[in-house]
Structure 1
Amino acid sequence: MSSTVSVFIANQPAEQAAWKASSAAIMSEQGATIYLGTNEADNLRKVQKAGRQLDTMGIKSVQLAGEGWDLERQWAFSNGFTDTLTKNTIQWADDADKLTQMRDTAAWVRELINLPPNEIYPESLAQKVTDKLTAVAPNAITVTQIVGDELVKHGRMGIHTVGRASKKPPVMLVVDYNPGQDANAAIDAVLIGKGITFDSGGYSIKSSEGMLAMKCDMGGAATVAGALVHAIHQGLNKRVQLVLCCAENLIDGSAYKLGDIITYKNGQTVEIVNTDAEGRLVLADGLIYAGEVNAKLIIDAATLTGAAQVAVGTDYNALFSVDDELAQKTLNIAHEQRELLWRLPLNNWHKDNCPSAFADTANSRPQKGGGSGGASNAAGFLLRFAPNEGAGWLHFDIAGAYHGSANALWPTGATALGFRTIAASLLK
């Protein structure tokens, strides 16, 4: 008996009386067949569901056989035929080198996000990302880490404030990818990732069930790091910097409190009304840095708000920008990359939607989840720190980054959704 199951696709209706119409893959002696219709978006979802079906049946090795397997159909199948620990193997029908690289990068992103919080903490996250990028481009990488109280000396007050209560010190990681090795080369883009390696909520503490998956709160950092890895593999020849804002949001006698005021390096003051709105506090330091180095393009990614999930679910990521032309280009890129992305509202006046009587702004509204429009208000907070009044800046609230349980499309855990779109944006 073969140790590998062949998987075919066919373009005619299935006539298998023994199988339910809801079955994405129909099994026979020759293997599995996926019957497709005329709508390609629906076809890709069905192919991904077929991958999940075969994984849940206990199949661990497949060969994509026959005609009709273009790159996107193979990638959709790969996303479905992936258990949480990425142990399944695929023999590709075509484009094997590119698909293997994509699957390996996605597996690395998922592994980072899925690691338990006793293994992934600010310094270990920074080191794992450093090791990966150094291995991919050893002659083009320079790394700077600012750790613990050194953050105060550098004025990175958001990262330090959020992370100071943990025994694992907070870290700001800057990875400089400079393929021309010209120290004076302009920085084409800065990628900023929220790297909250565990989020208790601080004194605005989460419930036990709400805290269980909070190892995934560094999903933004993993996603932008994976995007840079993928872009380098695809031939990126521009200078790009990766900035990861890493901290554990925990509680002890030194933890930041409701009513505290943070003064940032650019002079802006922020009153804390919710210690569980910590992601925007650390990202502000990254945005200030991006302005200091005059980056042309700035992209941040974060598992920032539950409100984004309420708006778009977990099949999509949410996009915010006040740069309409750039936002539309990015939505087009996401469509090309077959990653679901939806733009949510952001206007200049969103900067003022979290008012404070004691500081320039509060970090949220003093309501559960930040109240109505919470995702836009969080983006509005970030807009305060984005250079050039937000021109050239994109904010990804990655609502689809993690699933607490398996579903018809994804295994339990991280998805890596978004890394292809961000990588393609760098290459464009």
Structure 2
Amino acid sequence: MIALGSVLALLAVGCSAPAPDGPQIIAGPDGASIAEPVRIVVDGLAPGDPVRVWARANDRMGQWWESSAELTADGTGSVDLTSAESTGGTYQGVDPAGLFWSMRLPDDRAAPVPLAGADDVVVELGVDRDGTTIARSSLRREVRAPDARPIAMAEPGLVGDLYLPAGSGPWPGVLLLGGAEGGRPDPAYAALLANQGFAVLGLAYFGEPRLPTTLTRVPVEYGLSAARWLAERPEVTGPRVGVIGSSRGAEYALLLASSEPDRFGAVVAHAPSDVVWPAPATVPGARRVSSWTREGEDVPFLPLPAGEEPAPEQPVRTAASYAEAVEDAGRWARTTARIPVEDITAPVLLTSGGDDGVWPSTAQAQRAMAAIDAAGNPFGSRHLDFPSAGHPVGGVPNMPTSRTAVPVGPVVLETGGNPAATAGAVRHTFAATLDVLHALTAADG
């Protein structure tokens, strides 16, 4: 949910190399995209050697995020993390990306989302045997290409950044919306999508100067104006653009795409809602105010049940409150608050986690997909659900998912999910997102 724009403090590349006839780490591809598969192999061990392979990276706050795997050398004296089973450490089983998504702070303290908003992620790697480090190396993973060109919007009334791929374009346009954290959406996600050949507008819709302070009465017209601005840019093929939203941004994305269907050629909603909800409970009077307006009037919403205010810094799961609100609402209330997703005239990708602690995204996505299917949507729409994953099922793949308690304003939300399942979901949904966005290229062709 939360996205930060600061650049990582990079580690020095070129750690001490092992002797040619001793153990060594072979890791690659170096400098490739964070979304690409990685391979880490340890050679030069004795067959059956038990070793601990570890990784660590430094975040923007100077904190070390660490991970490890307990492994055994095969009959040739090698450990290949694409096939070797970890029996301990921060992850277990076979997972080539396990050292990346399982990174955590040693003391498990709360901290901003790790390694987000980076140009590069440089990870130091090591191998320990009998408590002694016997080999070291490092691996750089690229998030934002060096020649990516983010441009701050200069359009009056709109706040955001336009991320352009390398080259002269034009490219298909994508509107990117963050969640309840507010501000500009994750620049790492925007840059990574730009690296894939899309002109991405990371749009802030509250929590920035000249915008609403909180997620309260944000105009639908604001997002539609941004989509029109993007479609009319000379760098963008058009006239239809894609839209990607996460969490409350997914709610906004579905609301925008159903309000002006001709504007959007692809829709991706990570952890979405099929109904409109009020402003967050942390906002005074939130249960009586819609998050969105249309023509100056509140978009009808389902009220959340009254409850005790969550204690600051104490993680709280809020999904049950949203499920209760749907269950208690009458048919008229559910109908008026429902987002008319059947009006969307584009492929729709919905993604959800079955252990979502923020809201019941699986049930909400299922209801939305049922409405799309009932309308006979011919555009290849689908719903990807990951039963053991939590709330953050979309975004930059291969980033740490070990931290599930996320500060949002004055409260800490428990996003839920098994970190391994959530990491797998993000990898899967990133590939699926690109598949859906390719509909924009096909339409332009």
Settle same-fold status: TM greater than 0.5.
no
Of structures 1 and 2, the one scoring higher in RCO (CA 8 A, sep 6+) is 1
Of Structure 1 and Structure 2, which has the larger fraction of its residues in strand?
2
Of Structure 1 and Structure 2, which has the larger fraction of its residues in helix?
1
Q: TM-score, structure 2 length as denominator?
A: 0.36
Q: TM-score, structure 1 length as denominator?
A: 0.37
